[in-house]
Structure 1
Amino acid sequence: MARATKPSGRKRPSFETSLSRRPGHRESRQRLLVVCGAKVTERDYLQGLKSSARNSAVSLKIVEHPRSPSQVVDHAALLRDQARGEYDETWCVLDVDQFVDLEEAMAGARRKNIEVAFSNPCFELWLLLHFAEHSRQAHSYRELAPYLDQHFAAGYEKTGMKFARYEPHWRSAVNRARELAPSGDEHKVNPSTGMWRLALAIGGGEPRA
């Protein structure tokens, strides 16, 4: 009579067990370098937007370089090249103001594969669009300030940016800004701003209707 085979004490690894031992998939991020041609306000706004959006698909490095537009573009290209592939996109945030090297800056940006968010005349136009449409020409911050003052109990202040004031409205600003000028022509059209493209790159998604 044949003897019964004694079952082995070792278990065969299950399919699920082998899967569970695979290394986890690491989600890639879009790494942005943003160089601002002015101090404080732009930086504080962008940091506030990044924190508010909680978009884990994007990482953000912000550098201030208050110079003329073409100098800012050159500096952004230098930082990107020194980083040796650390960034996927490089942006410059620029005001038109009274600068005369706008076309030079745009030509340099195209040549060096740098995105530009021009505000014409200045960044405060982008802030104003959070609260209302604005299509009247303005040639300086002084001309825009009275419109912004209407939306702040104590008047608008360039320092002490509190993003919470803008947080509920940034997608509305995207919608309004898109209507003012063709993308890439903001340095030619007053008023207009290309900040909506950078806002979407940081915040993610398309604006709500």
Structure 2
Amino acid sequence: MGTDDLLKKRKAGAQESHKRNTKNLSPKQVILIVYEGEKTEKNYFETLKKQLNLTNANIIIDPDSNPSPSSVVKYAKQKLKQNPNEYDAIYCVFDRDRHRDFNKALNMVKNTIIQTIVSDPCFEFWILLHFNKTKKIFGISGGSPCKEVQEEKAFRKNVKNYAKDYDFKEIITQHLETAINYAKEINSQNEAQRQTPYTQVVVLVEKLRELAGDKKG
């Protein structure tokens, strides 16, 4: 066999191997995360995406400008209707807080691929769990439950100069596993009985870690 023939044979073999490898690659999952209109959730999940190096999934983080649970779900359903075969999963992230349409929002996702990710009283409770495990009921004095979460000693100590555009990189890097463990423990007691506080953000976080192949965070 001549040199040219040998090179052609090797090239053909390499091309065939590439075709087989490409064929065996799993398509990227497309995950849509819809959240209330503040930047907090977006900043957190965008940072988490980078920390997990999520390259094998397409995570779309999309805000809804109307900060109410039913509006968030409505927006997600519109996205699903526009592209019914686009998404592998859709998550609606919103607060329990004192929204009057909360139960309506939960009913709106029935018989869909949409999953609600609720924090009671608010997303900031999930952030608090990165540092402190508490079953304290917030808002019983009549004030803002979410504001009371942010006024917790552990929150003020560890999340300094908190704002909607806060950089969560250090918190996620150092304390994510703590938040997951605390959330699971509290949820196992409170969520099933619809008692406050609890947060389902841990469900979404673990889904993203699973997609990234990250078992330890």
SS of the residue corresponding to residue 110 of structure 1 reads coil
Supply the distance in 2 between the matched residues of 1:82 and 1:164 (Cα, whole angstroms): 34
**Structure 2 match to 1:120:** 120
**Structure-1-length-normalised TM-score:** 0.83
Conserved in 2, the CA contact under 8 Å of 1:117 and 1:194? yes
Alignment match of 1:176 (pick from 164, 174, 182): 182
Distance change (3 Å), C-alpha of 1:187 and 1:122:
farther
Structure 2 vs 1, CA of residues 40 and 94 (structure 1 numbering), >3 Å: closer, same or farther? same
1:63 maps to amino acid: D
Shift of 1:178: 1.2
% identical equivalent positions: 24
> What secondary structure, in the 3-state scheme, does the structure 2 residue paired with 1:181 have?
helix
1:20 to 14, 18, 27: 14
Structure 1 counterpart of 2:82, one-letter code? Q
Q: Residue 203 of structure 2 aligns to a residue in which SS?
A: helix
Distance 1:199 1:131, change over 3 A: same
| 2:120 and 2:199 in contact (8 A); partners too | yes
1:5 — aligned with what?
Answer: none
Distance 2:107 2:189 in 1: 15
Contact kept in structure 2, 1:118 and 1:195, CA below 8 Å: yes
Matches within 5 A, 1:1-209: 9=2, 11=5, 18-22=12-16, 23=19, 24-25=21-22, 26-65=25-64, 66-139=66-139, 140-147=145-152, 148-152=155-159, 155-167=160-172, 168-182=174-188, 185=191, 188-204=194-210, 208=216
SS in structure 2 at match of 1:133: coil
Give the unaligned 5+ runs of structure 2.
140-144
Deviation at 1:36, TM superposition (A): 0.3
Structure-2 change in CA distance of 1:13 and 1:198 (3 Å): same
Relative distance call for 1:184 and 1:51 in structure 2 (3 A) is farther
Q: Deviations over 1:57-87 (max 9, x none)?
A: 2211111113321221111011122123221
The Cα shift of 1:135 comes to 1.2
The answer for unaligned runs of 5 or more in structure 1 is 1-7
How far 1:102 moved relative to its partner? 2.0
Distance in 2 of aligned mates of 1:95 and 1:186? 17
1:83-132 CA distances to partner (integer Å, 9 max, x unpaired)? 23221100000101111222221121233221111000000000011112
| 2: CA distance, partners of 1:80 / 1:182 | 31
More divergent stretch after superposition (155-164 vs 98-107): 155-164
> Whole-Å Cα distance in 1 between the matches of residues 190 and 135 of structure 2?
18
Paired with 1:45 and 1:156, the residues of 2 have a C-alpha distance of: 16
Instruction: Give the number of equivalent residue pairs.
Output: 200
List per-residue Cα deviations over 1:2-54 (Å, max 9, x = no partner).
Answer: xxxxxx65857999765421224234222110110231011111101001110
CA deviation map 1:146-176 (0-9, x unaligned): 2211224xx4523331122312211221111
Q: 1: distance between equivalents of 2:184 and 2:26?
A: 31
Instruction: Give the 3 Å change call, closer, same or farther, for CA 184–36 of structure 1 in structure 2.
Output: farther
Structure holding more helix per residue: 2
